[in-house]
Amino acid sequence: MYKGVPDIFFVREPMAVLAFAVSRQLTQLHPVDVLILALYFALVLFIGFYVKGSTNTSEEFFLAGREMSAWIAGLSFVSANLGSLELMGWAGSAYQYGILAMHWYWIGAIPAMLFLGIVMMPFYYISKTHSVPGYLRLRFGEGARALSAGSFALMTILMSGVNMYAMAVVMQTVLGWNMTFSIWIGAATVAIYVMLGGLRSAIINEVLQFVLIWAGAALIPILGLIEAGGWTNLKAQIARNVGSNDYMHMWSTLGTFKGNPMGIHWTGIVFGLAAVLSFGYWTTDFLVVQRVLSANNLRAAKLAPVIGAAFKLAVPLIVVVPGLLALAVLKNADGSTMHLVAGDVAKATGQHAYDEVLPLMLIRYCGPGLLGLGITALVAGFMSGMAGNVSAFSTVWTYDLYGAYLNKKASDKHYVAMGRWSTIVGMLVSIATAYIVANANSIMDYVQALFSFFIAPLFGTVILGMLWKRATKEGGFWGLLAGTISSIAMFAYVQTGGKAALAHIALSPDAKPMAENMYRALWSWLICVAVTVAVSLLTKPKAESELEGLVYGATVIPDDGSRTLWQKPVFWAGVVMVVFVALNLVFF
Amino acid sequence: MAEGTGRGETLSIWFFVGIMTLVYGLVLLPYGAWAWFGGHEAPTTLNRLHPTFWWGVLLTLFGCFYTLRFRPHRGDERKV
C-alpha cells in the first residue's frame, strides 16, 4: 500500500509483488500505443521544465511553495499511494483471496486518512514543520529526529530502486522490453522532472497519474461486469468456479483463521491493519504527509486527506473488481476456466501468475490505443512511484540530515542546489539498487520488511507526542528505538523459528505470513507506547509553554476559516465515514 | 493565479489534466472510428461494443471541458 512498493508493510506473500512468469511476453505495442506512451513522456518532461522557474527557494522546491489547493493536495495524497505495483499486486490478491482485499483500501485506509485530516494535520501544519522527522525534532529533540530521518532516507531510496526494478520486470513480461532500457529511461525521466521542479513537479505528475490510471483501467471493470452479466451473476460464477461463497464476504468469514482464504482473524484486521499499520502509514509516512503539507491553508490541509479518502473508497473498482472478474471470466484457449497460480509455480508450469491478472484483463478487453493507454497508466504509476520516493528522500536528506548535521548554516539557495543534486544521486543509488535486486531477488523481501520495522513504532511516538503533554524527549527516543528493535527481533524470530514462531507472534498455528505482519506491527507499537510512557514518567517533561503548536491541550488550534457546514472538513469526514460504514455493511 | 503550478505561472494543473485527456481522446477517437467503420476491430472480448471509439469520445469531452474551463486567461500573472 505504499507508492512504488505497495506492500511494504502489507506484505502479502514473499515475492508476490513480482511473481510474474518471465518466460514469455504477454503482448506487444501497436504504433498508436507507442504514440500514447511517447505523448506522456513529452508531457511530464515539459512540466518539469515549465515549473522549474517557480522552484527557486527551498520552500518551493521541497514543499511546492505550500500553495496547493485542497483538491490538488488531496489527489496527490491518494495518488502517492496508488502505484502500479499496488494495482497489479492487489488485483492479484483479489484473485487469490477474494473480496478480503478490499480491507486494505477501506478499513486499512479510510479511518486513518480522516484521522490525519481532522486530528493530526493541525499540529503538522501549524508547527510549520517541513517533514515528519522535523516534527519529531520539535517535539522530542535531535535523537528521535536522527533515528527517523536516517531510516526514512535509506528506505525511500531503496524503495525507489525496487520500484524501478519492478517496472523493468513488468515491461519485460508484458511487452518484452529490455530491462536496462526500462530502468534507464524511467530513471532519467524522473530524475529530470524532479530535479527541475521538486515536489511541485512530483505533485502535478501524481494528479495526472491519478487521472491516467482511471482513464487506463476503468474500462476493465465496466466491460468485465458487462461480460459477467452484472454483480449478482459475477458472484454466482465465482462461487461456482472456486467452489465457495467465502470469496465475496469481507467480514463474515473472519471469525476464525481457517475460515477465510487469507488465514487471518478479524482482530488482526481491526487492531493490526486498521489501528496500527494503517494509522502508522497514513499519518506518519512522510511520503504521503508531504503532499498534505503543501496545502495553501489550514482548512485545505485538513480537507485534503478527506478528499483523498473519498477517492480511496472508489479505488477497489479498478483494483479489486478486476481480480474478482478474472475468477469468473478468464478462460483458456479451449474455453475452460483459466487458473492463475503463484509465481514460482507459474515459472515451472508455464501458467500465468496471480500478479499477471491485471495485464491479462487489460489485454482481454483493450485493443490498440486502449492498450497503450493502460500501459501508459502503469508506466506513469511506476515513474511517479520513483518520483515520490526520490522527492521525499531529497527533502529529508537536505533538511533533516545534511542541513541538520553536516552543514547547518548554508544559504537557502545552497539547500535548493543540494535538493537537486540529492535527487540525481538518489536516482543513481536507486539504479544501483535495481541492479542489485535484479541479481538477488530475495533482497526485495528484506527491503520491504525493513520499512515495516519503522512505521508502526513511529506512529506510537508521533501520536503520543501529539496527544500527551507528559511525553518527554527521552521517552520519545527510547520508545521509538525499543519499538523498532522489537519489530526487527520478531521478524528475525519468525524467519528462523518457522511455524512455531509464527504461531507465537500471530496467536495461531493457522496464521499465514500476512497475519504475522499485522500482529508484529501491533506488538511493536504496544512496546513503543509502553516504553515511551514508562521512560516519560521517569524523566522530566518539557514546560507547557515549549509545547505550544505541537501537542493537544497545549495548543490553541487556529480557526480554519470554515463558515458554513459545507466548508467544514469535519462534516465531509463524517460523510465519507458514513459511506465507508455503509459499504462494509453491503459487502459484509 | 493558476492553481497549483506555482507563483506567477499561467497554466493550471487542471489545464494539464484537460490537455492530456483531450490529446488522448483525439488519438483514440479517430483510431476507434477507423477500427469500427473500417472493420479493423482488434479481436478482443466485447469488441462489438467498440470500446476504443466510445472511450475516445468520453476522453475528448472530458478533456475539452477541462481544457476550456482552465485555459489561461489574459489577466493571469505571467512568470517573470
Q: For B3-28, give the DSSP string.
A: TTT-TT----HHHHHHHHHHHHHHHH
Contact by Cβ (8 Å): A170, A20: yes
Q: Which residues does B contribute to its contact with A (CB < 8 Å)?
A: 3-9, 11, 13, 16-17, 19-21, 23-24, 27-28, 31-32, 35, 41-47, 49, 51-52, 55-56, 59, 79
Q: What angle do CA A185, A92, A114 make, to 5 degrees?
A: 85
Q: What is the mean pLDDT of residues B11-40?
A: 95
Nearest residue of B to residue A208, measured between CA atoms = B17
- A580 CB-near residues (< 8 Å, 6+ apart): A106, A107, A110, A111, A309, A313
Contact status, residue A55 vs residue A61, Cβ threshold 8 Å: yes
The percentage of chain B sitting over the pLDDT mark of 90, rounded to a whole number, equals 72
What pLDDT is stored for residue A33 in this prediction? 94
pLDDT given for residue B80 in this prediction: 27
Q: Do B21 and A211 touch (CB under 8 A)?
A: yes
**Pairwise CB contact (< 8 Å): B3 & A215:** no
Please tell me the distance from the alpha carbon of residue A303 to that of residue A297, in angstroms, as a whole number.
10
Q: Which top CATH class is A26-439+548-586?
A: mainly alpha
- Quote the ipTM score: 0.89
The whole-number pLDDT of residue A445 equals: 63
State the Cα–Cα distance between residues A240 and A205, nearest whole angstrom: 42
Report the phi/psi class of residue A243: left, alpha or beta, with left for phi > 0 and alpha for psi in -120 to 50. Answer: left
Amino acid letter for position A513: P
Contact B55 A364 (CB under 8 A): no
Residue A128 in 3-state DSSP? Answer: coil
Mean pLDDT by 10 residues, chain A (588 residues): 38 41 71 94 92 85 88 92 80 90 94 95 87 91 90 84 83 84 90 90 90 93 96 93 85 84 84 87 89 92 96 94 94 86 82 87 93 92 84 91 91 93 92 84 66 84 94 95 93 86 82 75 93 96 89 86 92 97 95
Structure confidence at residue A263 (pLDDT): 78
Strand partners, A337: A331
Helix (H, G, I), strand (E, B) or coil at A142: helix
For residue A353, list its beta bridge partners.
A341
Q: What is the pLDDT of residue A271?
A: 86
Task: Answer whether A478's CB lies under 8 Å from A532's CB.
Answer: yes
At residue A300, what are phi and psi to the nearest 5 degrees? -65, -40
Burial class (CB in 10 A: 0-12, 13-18, 19+), A104: buried
Going by the DSSP 8-state scheme, the letter that residue A260 receives in this structure is S
Residue B48 distance to chain A (closest CA, Å): 11
Pairwise CA distance, residues A61 & A332, whole Å: 51
Task: Provide the shortest C-alpha distance from residue B54 to chain A (in Å).
Answer: 11
B27 vs A368: CB contact, 8 Å cut-off? no
Instruction: Answer whether B44 sits within 8 Å of A203, measured CB to CB.
Output: no
* pLDDT over 60 at B79, yes or no: no
Q: Which residue shows C-alpha cell 467503420?
A: B37
| pLDDT (mean) for B16-32 | 96
For the packed helices A473-506 and A513-538, what is the interaxial angle rounded to 10 degrees?
150
Q: What are phi and psi of A397, to 5 degrees?
A: -60, -50
